[in-house]
Structure 1
Amino acid sequence: MWLIFKKEILELLRDRKTLFFMIALPLLVFPLIFGGMFYFTGKAMTTSQTESLTYAVSGAQYAPELMAALESVDSLARIDLSGNLSDKDTVAGIISRNEVDFVLQIPNNFSNDVGQSGQITLKLVLNDAQLNSVQVRIQEVTDKIESMNQRNAFANLGVSESIQAAMLDPIIVQKVNLADAREQTGAIFGGLIPYFMFILCLQGAMLPAADIGAGEKERGTLETLLLSPIDRYKIVLAKFLTIATAGLTSALVTVISMGIWALVISVQMPMGPVVEFISAIDGFDFLLVFLMLIPVVATFASLLLALSIYARSFKEAQGYMSPLMIVVFLPIIVTLIPGIELKGVWAWIPLTNVALAIKELVKGTMDYVQLIAIFGSSVILAGALLGFCVYWFKQEKVLFR
């Protein structure tokens, strides 16, 4: 068995394409892709939210103080337009022709005296498909005027500041959160980590699996291997260990890559909370996160080997394996549903239990007793799939199907 395992590993190391998916992809390509995506997305959103916008106003004469406050905002530039800016169709045409970015319609009852005017409605007409935070910018201006008008109204009524606060916000709900910073941050990121790990483990094991099963059929080397005086189950175990080694290597490189890039980002960018969150996870939990990938890799390796042995050709094997990428999403999505925890039946569902366990480890709330169910269910599933592989290897149709 170990002789076959050594042979398969040597052939694996000679395949540059496989090495790329096992090492280069998780170490360099994925971090660069996702890092670049987050960087450019953040930069684009920041630019769009701070870019200078043009606007026109209907009823400006009714609110001189509001107009003065708007004109003091550097990122807003007023343009005087002719036409009835209170008419819906006229304003729609102006916006569609990009003459201005938005139109502010001020009613004729606008007044800073709340007791006289009552509640006032300002209409902001715009194409809100752009991420330029128009309403947020206008709200910042109106909030200041609103606060001043409220204070003046209460002062005219002779209401003290404490009563003012009670009238504006009569009931306050004070939240006392017993969750620490690690648990809160882990609840957010803990569900995303298995997503990347599972995909990379599967990607790293797919090519070796397709090659050492269906690939050997096409090359005609499987017949020679089956004629050798080696038990069929040993051949299956050797191939299984080869695929598992590829998957674990990809997983290990992924964990190392995540650590390196997290360190680089923390040095280059002010990410104190992220650094504190990572430093709160002790070495034992980091080790368990990696060990949690063993049942995942065992499941993937046995399933991929079964598909590869069943397939007639390398191309057919790839056709069987490609949909697994979609299948892997399902157990991860389940972990993001509120109320789903690593308890009861969920602790026995393969892949889902591992994703939940990684989430709990990151949060620091792991129930280590559930490790029995996690590894037990994975052993049962992987054993059943390996049993199919051994059965199929003992059939002549493994070659002639």
Structure 2
Amino acid sequence: MPTLEQAYEDGGSGELSAPRLRVDTPERAGLDPTELGHLAREVRDLTTGDRPWAAGVVVVAGRGPVIAVREAAGWAVRYTAYDPQSDAGVEPPRAARVPMTVDTPFDLASLTKLFTSVAAVQQIERGTLGIDALVGAYLPEFRAAAEHGITVRQLLTHTSGLRPELPLYACADDTARLALLRAEAPVEPPGTHLYSDLNMLLLQFVLERITGRTLDVLVHEGITRPLGMTATAFGPCPDAAATEDQRRPWAKADRGMVRGVVHDENAWALGGVAGHAGLFGTATDLAIFCRTLLAGGAYGPARILGPDFVELLLTPPGLGFAVDQPWFMGELAGRGAAGHTGFTGTSLVLDPATDTFLVLLANTVHPRRRPPDSGPRAAAATRLARAVRDA
């Protein structure tokens, strides 16, 4: 495989240009076709049976600039509702279901956090945001965060001590939601790791304060538009895979079968644009995102980050990204693999050590949420790791 320096080509303008992704054979990517065949078959099997792991799945995986696996299986919409009495989904006639395709958009859930993190590191690179600056310096009205000395780095590394979430969906209006966030104090001493959606919500407010632009604009102008990720945006997204028949008591709101509108109740209450959830996108678009980071922040003629700042983003413990987590990265974990999962069934992993990437998108909460099971994610990542030929 080429080195990072060798991976750049002259795009005809006299400037260096990073190769774009192309679909090709496993052999062209330096990957074993037998292992990838097992990966594709096992992913397809995840959608079979009366109680499948997911109603539908899309997987895109590859190495370097080559997509070597691009598969879809199952259904984007399989159920019209969830029946609590039978503990099963209500299925319409087969002709009324919507099949999954490789181009089906998904509610990306917490994969949104990765885009918020990249947007923050872009501001760090520009010098408009200090990584160790106090959140209170930018948001003095967030008095609890200011009083406890929470920093930008702590938001990015989930070490602010803030609780995982707040019931913003239960507030009467935006004024009440904002008051709740401003008054929220850490439940653990700052510096303690505690994964929290609130970190990315506060980071969203910081970014919007220092730039004067909303998060959806920052993501579009700074990430998705320059990279050509035309299928990735905050919702609504009418053609997306369906998520949950969202009703109490298993959910936090009564919304019925959710499709094309953000599943996360807090992001929904905030209007669909939130630092922790709200983006919709396709597996191919996320492969571009992975490839960009593996190539040091560049894709085609576009550069969204410098290599040093990509390294900052992915160096353990990671800024927004989880690093070396075998529970969903399988055997890719161990040498600096980075990625994230999302509650709706989404995940991605990129491994700089082998220049590989894996995007696995599924609607595991369709027709209703279940206890999380990341075994299939780890198994797929292990197949990819074992497919790597020469490092």
Q: Which has the larger radius of gyration?
A: 1
TM-score (norm 1): 0.23
Tell me the TM-score normalized by structure 2: 0.24
